[in-house]
Structure 1
Amino acid sequence: MPSLTPDRIAPESRSKSGRKASAPRADKGKRAARPQMTDREAQAASFTRRRRVQAIRRISTAVGTSVVVIGGLWLWQAGQFPVLAAAASDMVPSVSDLSGLTVNEVEVTGTKNLELEEVILASGVEDGQKIGDIDLTVVREQVESIGWVRKARVSRILPGTIQIDISERVPYAFWQDNRKLRLIDREGVEITKEGLAHFAKLPLVVGEGAPRHARSLFEIMESEPSLAARVQAAVRVGNRRWDLRFDNGVNVQLPETDADKAWHRLAALDKNEGLLSRDVATIDMRLADRMTVRQTPEAAQARRDAEAAAAKAAKALREQKKS
């Protein structure tokens, strides 16, 4: 079983441009000839420009807020605040009154490994689209179709922003099946097949049904963390039980039932007798009442050579006594 190393996974560069990006712009008509830009490059450029504008807006907002607070205190003292508040409430539009408002920005938060552009493209939201026509449920479902997304929340921020809050899946292990690697979370849900080099230190599970049962196995292994750190791969056998491949090449065959008891027994034997440090190839723990240890071919040959040498020496000693 080849081990999982960064050399076996093609590295992939990732762009991290921030936490906000503009929606893809609809066609605005013919423009002067210029070098063709990809959709992602256009989005990144648009985002950069708008981020500068947003920085200016934040400063303006901070100043404006201070003015409003001071003015509000004065109005309250003058007894005019309740009258103005009632008038302002009549000016807040409902969704049915948003026909004149359009989307000019998509704000994405909560991403760590997922690229912002992928979220925007999956959302289907377009620049200039009427904000009242957007079905937030549909946008949420489309965003949650991305493998990285565990949960999404979509909302409108008037006058022209769609906000998407992302909760990402946490990478937990690799799953190898038919010589293909996939990144999965703790529940066994497939996340992605790309960018795997960033997670090369995660454990590897192999075989049919491995993702569905990986969580219960890892919970057992986590009870003996020092021993678990030495496991390079867990192979699902017949969709019934596990074989564990350790960093020194030792293969441990766990039983179909009571795998936790076998795991604790293995930890005790290794701690007290250094079992995994010996010249062994396989430790068979499938039977509850006994354990079978098979030596490595080199160790087995050395043992045979030693036994042969001992037998030869004993024979020579007997012949010497006869003479």
Structure 2
Amino acid sequence: MAQTIKRGGKGVRRAAAARTTQRKVQTARKQTGSLLDSVMVWMPFSEETLHRIVMLLILGVTVAIVWTVAVLAGVPALASEQAALIASDAGFKVSHLEVRGVNRMNEQKIYEKILGQNDRAMTTLNLAALRDELNAISWVKDARVSRKLPDTLVIDIVERSPHAVLRKPDRLVLIDDTGAELETVKPDRAKGMLVLTGLGVGKRVQDLTHLLDAAPALKPQVAEAEWVGNRRWNLTFKTGQILVLPEGDEKSAGALLSFARMDGVNRLLGGKVAAFDMRAGDRIYMRVPGHAEEQAEEKRAAAQAKAEAKRIAAAARADEG
């Protein structure tokens, strides 16, 4: 009796086809991976950066969808809030600060401004308003704020430079070359710096700089400048001697230059004269300590001698009579 044996030919063919398909998939994956690697070699950024870009694109699409839905629903404020929330949840919020350019001021003031922001989502952070807040700090001349995705805020600071010390009735204040007040300082910190006094002197700092530039040799010798009566300067040198200058920018600069020339010839600074008054223009008046008292004493002695002579003469005439 004949018996038919089934060899399962279809099963063998299916297995062979499956293996062929698997080999094709593996080959395609290898080719795709090689192609991606080749592309990454020519990319101007790393694979990590590419990942961030992709995440940002996904975030942008998500935010756009949420915003569109919210606007269509008539609640744009809610859209903005939800977009910021999505960005924060995705890691796009201020978590790190990179502060540059700070050398003299207290850097903590900058951190207080940033950390004090209620909204720290990178997508909704108001950089212009934040820059204005930083520029309001006394030491800050200019500030620049930029984002460094995904979570870093970069702060570039241009500081003001201390130029002189403003003496007020109750304190000493450090100022820059424009007269902007920086901070209160103790006397030991003000030691060796130019001291400014007088009502309204803070607005005349640049005028004083131009005046002192007229006599570069004397400039480092000036210890204090007093703005008198809102019209002229008195300069006190490190020797303690005082130079009284006339009114007007040109006249005061000319007088200072003339004094510098006289000092170069006659060595006025460090001498016996306590004060030099150059307000007359064509002459200089000098005050020597104790000289006025000596003159007064001489006048009193002369007056007494004259009175005594008159008394003796009167007595002699009386005897003759």
Settle same-fold status: TM greater than 0.5: yes
Q: Is the Cα contact below 8 Å between 2:166 and 2:172 reproduced in 1?
A: yes
Distance 2:244 2:128 in 1: 48
Q: Which of 150, 154, 177 is equivalent to 1:186?
A: 177
SS at match of 1:276: coil
Q: What residue number does 1:208 align with?
A: 199
Q: What residue number does 2:317 align with?
A: none
1:127 to partner: Cα distance:
9.8
Q: What residue number does 2:124 align with?
A: 133
Give the structure with higher Rg (CA). Answer: 2
The one-letter code of the counterpart of 2:242 is: N
1:123 to partner: Cα distance:
3.2
Q: What residue number does 1:144 align with?
A: 135
Alignment of 1:253-292 (within 5 A): 253-257=244-248, 258-292=251-285
Q: What residue number does 1:224 align with?
A: 215
Q: Which of 156, 162, 166 is equivalent to 2:147?
A: 156
- TM-score, reference length from structure 1: 0.63
Distance 1:277 1:262 in 2: 19
Once superposed, what is the RMSD of the aligned Cα atoms?
A: 3.4
1:81 to partner: Cα distance:
5.7
SS at match of 1:115: coil
Q: Is the Cα contact below 8 Å between 1:283 and 1:292 reproduced in 2?
A: yes
Name the one with the larger helix percent.
2
Q: What residue number does 1:238 align with?
A: 229
Q: Which of 99, 104, 112 is equivalent to 1:113?
A: 104
Q: Is the Cα contact below 8 Å between 2:277 and 2:285 reproduced in 1?
A: yes
Aligned sequence identity (%): 29
Aligned length: 234
1:155 to partner: Cα distance:
0.9
Q: What residue number does 2:39 align with?
A: 75
Q: Which of 145, 164, 167 is equivalent to 1:173?
A: 164
Distance 1:263 1:139 in 2: 46
Distance 1:127 1:105 in 2: 16
Q: Is the Cα contact below 8 Å between 1:183 and 1:196 reproduced in 2?
A: no
Q: Which has the higher contact order (CA 8 A, sep 6+)?
A: 1
- TM-score, reference length from structure 2: 0.63
Cα separation, partners in 2 of 1:246 and 1:228, compared to 1, 3 Å: same
Q: What residue number does 1:28 align with?
A: none
Q: Is the Cα contact below 8 Å between 2:119 and 2:125 reproduced in 1?
A: no
The one-letter code of the counterpart of 2:288 is: Q
1:305 to partner: Cα distance:
8.1
Distance 2:166 2:264 in 1: 30
Q: Where does the alignment leave 5 or more consecutive residues of structure 2 unmatched?
A: 1-34, 65-82, 302-321
